[in-house]
């Protein structure tokens, strides 16, 4: 009877080995294990803190987005003509109670920069001017809302950031600029980051892209630039200001060994930072290390060596798999070199990698197809058409055969879009492409050039009348009503056709067909025009 080893898979074999080693060495492995564990734990803790950091940045992003969306909606809902009346802007803001929930104050400036409304303090209405303030000039220059740099408000003396939204009248003249203030010390905004701080002594902070401190446990540092503080900019902060995102272990400005992470808020470029002192992060390991007994070191090293040798042997199939994958990556072997017959985890990993590689190959093929195809109509795209036209012109010059192109578009397509909507317009484009493809010859190349413009490449034309017959056939194919979204639409096309003269380039030929298209439109649309082909004798002479 054939003996079956009771331990069939890699996990079971590792479990048996590790259990035996733990039984033999017990706590004797503690010191060696703790050193390795601390290294691994640093990665785990760092990744966890970076996840917290990403959560904090996401919270700020969502909060800012909600505030900007609200301010933008209120700006768009305003009637510019009615805001010209005295007190109209103040009354308009007072009607929107949600502004008080999202901002500590909302003010409005007229086109000259004079304060004309304020939700929380009306005393400076008409006397305060923001015309020379960066948030005002930047909004006027950008013609859209901005997030200001942090500053200390002259109205409230608080550290604030402003979100702005301009309101323009029908003539495009600036009427007012709405500005919502965010108090950087307000618990409803940055104060919500506090529950995310790590441990007892860890903390979160917030920097502007220029290094200005927006939030810090030491409130005296708010609105200072890190570059202007004693000690200058720490290397980790310098990397963050240069674009780094992630965590590292480094000393703080106070000299404390800590895990420090940085994550940007995409819409503003603000940098959310986290500091977690290493002494607190690794406190359990540090305590356990102090408790370990020195005499156990030699026995722990011996057990570790035995374990390493055993695991090295057990993981040999995994090393073989790694080598095979490396050969596949270098192109030295096909993916079928992997051993798919193993029944353990290595075999499962081989099969998963094999399947993933096959899926990626199919995905690459699909991407290549999409790169050549117009996604809406399924026709060739402009890039493919130009390549095919270049090759056709070379073939024609060598063989003396005739090549022609048709340049066509949908008459009054903009009117269809404006009247029935872009969704209906897309249906018209799809049906137009289907009819066009069904009308021309199987050997002809049909492509969507752009918008409602299409092109067709004709090769191996016979008599000169054949091109005109193709143009007439295309025009007639489009005259039956188009059924688009349960609507019968009258759709026509104008077609310009041009025969390639010997030696002509792609751009020149397309230009001739485009000119013929405009001639067809000038003649009343729903028709075609053919650029006269070069005389056959002349063509033959040029070809020779």
Residues serving a catalytic function are: 452
Residue 453 β-bridge partners: 409, 450
Alpha carbon of 209 to those of 141, 151, 196, 212, 267: distances in Å? 21, 14, 22, 7, 12
Rounded Cα distance, 14 and 310, in Å: 9
Nearest to 421 by CA among 431, 409, 432, 429: 429
Displacement of CA 69 from its chain's centroid (Å): 20
Residue 212 β-bridge partners: 225
Rounded Cα distance, 208 and 190, in Å: 13
Rounded Cα distance, 205 and 262, in Å: 10
257-281: string of b/e by CB count within 10 Å (b at 16+)?
A: ebbbbbbbbeebebbbbbbbbbebb
Per the CB < 8 A criterion, the answer to whether 53 and 262 are in contact is: yes
Residue corresponding to tokens 């007892």 = 200
Q: At what angle do helices 506-522 and 382-399 cross, to 10 degrees?
A: 110
Per the CB < 8 A criterion, the answer to whether 178 and 75 are in contact is: yes
Q: How many residues are recorded in the chain? A: 544
Rounded Cα distance, 35 and 362, in Å: 46
Parallel, antiparallel or unpaired: strands 203-207 and 487-489? unpaired
Contacts of 88 (CB under 8 A, 6+ apart): 82
Residue corresponding to tokens 């949600």 = 98
Per the CB < 8 A criterion, the answer to whether 407 and 385 are in contact is: no
Helices (H) and strands (E) in the chain, counts: 17, 17
Q: What is the DSSP string of 110-140?
A: ETTSBEEEESS--TTTTT-B-TTSHHHHHHH
């Amino acid at each position: 009877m054939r003996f079956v080893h009771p331990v069939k898979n890699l996990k079971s074999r590792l479990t048996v080995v590790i259990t035996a080693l733990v039984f033999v060495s017990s706590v004797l492995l503690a010191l060696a294990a703790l050193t390795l564990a601390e290294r691994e734990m640093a990665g785990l803790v760092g990744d966890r803190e970076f996840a917290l950091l990403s959560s904090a940045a996401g919270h700020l992003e969502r909060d800012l987005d909600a505030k900007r969306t609200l301010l933008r909606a209120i700006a768009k809902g305003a009637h510019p003509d009615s805001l010209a009346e005295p007190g109209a802007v103040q009354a308009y803001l007072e009607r929107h109670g949600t502004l008080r929930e999202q901002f500590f104050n909302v003010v409005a400036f007229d086109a000259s920069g004079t304060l004309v409304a304020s939700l929380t303090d009306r005393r400076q209405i008409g006397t305060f001017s923001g015309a020379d303030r960066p948030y005002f000039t930047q909004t006027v220059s950008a013609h859209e809302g901005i997030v200001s740099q942090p500053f200390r408000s002259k109205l409230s003396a608080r550290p604030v950031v402003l979100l702005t939204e301009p309101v323009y009248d029908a003539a495009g003249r600036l009427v007012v600029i709405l500005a919502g203030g965010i108090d950087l010390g307000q618990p409803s905004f940055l104060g919500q980051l506090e529950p995310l701080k790590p441990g007892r002594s860890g903390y979160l902070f917030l920097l502007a892209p220029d290094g200005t401190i927006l939030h810090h446990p030491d409130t005296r540092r708010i609105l200072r630039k890190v570059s202007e503080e004693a000690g200058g900019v720490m290397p980790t902060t310098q990397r963050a200001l240069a674009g780094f995102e992630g965590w590292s272990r480094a000393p703080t400005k106070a000299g404390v060994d800590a895990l420090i992470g940085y994550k940007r808020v995409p819409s503003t470029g603000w940098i959310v930072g986290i500091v977690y002192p290493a002494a607190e992060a690794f406190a359990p390991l540090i305590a356990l290390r102090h408790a370990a007994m020195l005499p156990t070191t030699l026995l722990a090293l011996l057990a570790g060596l035995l374990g390493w040798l055993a695991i090295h042997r057990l993981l040999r199939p995994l090393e073989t798999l790694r080598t095979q994958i490396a050969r596949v990556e270098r192109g030295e072997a096909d993916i079928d070199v992997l051993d798919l017959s193993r029944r353990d985890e290595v075999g499962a990993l081989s099969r998963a990698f094999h399947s993933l590689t096959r899926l990626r190959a199919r995905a690459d093929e699909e991407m290549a197809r999409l790169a050549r195809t117009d996604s809406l109509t399924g026709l060739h795209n402009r890039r493919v058409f130009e390549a095919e036209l270049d090759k056709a012109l070379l073939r024609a010059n060598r063989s003396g055969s005739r090549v022609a192109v048709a340049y066509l578009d949908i008459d009054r397509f903009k009117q269809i879009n404006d009247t029935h909507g872009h969704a209906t317009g897309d249906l018209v484009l799809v049906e137009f492409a289907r009819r066009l493809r069904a009308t021309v010859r199987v050997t002809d190349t049909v492509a969507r050039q752009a918008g409602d413009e299409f092109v067709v490449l004709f090769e191996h034309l016979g008599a000169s009348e054949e091109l005109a017959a193709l143009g007439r056939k295309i025009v007639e194919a489009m005259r039956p009503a188009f059924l688009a979204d349960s609507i019968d639409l009258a759709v026509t096309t104008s077609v310009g056709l041009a025969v390639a003269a010997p030696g002509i380039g792609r751009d020149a030929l397309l230009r001739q067909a485009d000119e013929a298209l405009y001639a067809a439109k000038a003649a009343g649309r729903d028709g075609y025009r053919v650029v006269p082909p070069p005389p056959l004798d002349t063509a033959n002479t040029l070809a020779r």
